Amino acid sequence: MTSDPDHPSQHYFSEEPAVESARKRIEVTLPDGSFEIETDTGVFSHGRVDAGTKFLLLEAPELPTSGELLDLGCGAGVIALTMARRRPECHVWAVDVNARARRLASDNAAALGLRNVTVAAPEEVPSDVSFATIWSNPPIKVGKSELHDMMRRWLPRLTPGGEAILVVNKNLGSDSLQRWLSEQGHPTSRLASRQGFRLLRVT
Ligand SMILES: C[S@@+](CC[C@H](N)C(=O)[O-])C[C@H]1O[C@@H](n2cnc3c(N)ncnc32)[C@H](O)[C@@H]1O
């Protein structure tokens, strides 16, 4: 095992994190109800809910009342689990490249008794599934080229009239991502802005 912090196995977006697992339970507090989840080392936001994620969960528009929903880059699953709790009649896909994140999200969904969540690696999502809504705190740190590939892969899978809500740190390039998405034919507007975070709406 390497201890080099720049080695790919040390990143939260590694497929198999090398750091030893140390799960930690936290409470997710939202105006529409609180719930507990486990977080883990080697998975984004160990021991806390990320401030950007919380911003998205507080400010994102109402979810549709039916259809398939996607949490792109689910980590421990806090976004997917919130979607599933808010919309028991929808089916939620929680997708991540990190196998430890997928196990965690799956355990968290089971512990909460949420049967409308499927946790999957990107290539496991059937190609005929399209999404009424995508919510994501995307992995900006993977670099522009991979992030753009991710957007090109998933945004065309929105249903007609569907939308993606992305939370991005201003200092990590939210404005240039907004411009790039619009140039790619996905009109993107800023829904909200607070404490350095931007909430983008992509259509
Ligand atoms: C910023 S974290 C957000 C995690 C979680 N949604 C949250 O809000 O706490 C981004 C997540 O995207 C995942 N990720 C990185 N590259 C990905 C890819 N190509 N496809 C899907 N997920 C990816 C990372 O492993 C990481 O869990």
Give the distance (Å) from ligand 1 centre to CA of residue 65: 25
CB of residue 28 inside a 6 A radius of ligand 1? no
pLDDT along the chain (203 residues), means of 10: 52 89 97 97 97 98 98 98 98 98 98 98 98 97 95 98 97 93 97 96 97
Query: 73 C-alpha to center of ligand 1: Å?
Result: 3
Ligand 1 atom closest to the CA of 53, numbered from 1: 8
pTM of the model: 0.95
Give me the DSSP letters along 91-150: EEEEE-S-HHHHHHHHHHHHHTT--SEEEE-GGGS-TT--EEEEEE---GGG-HHHHHHH
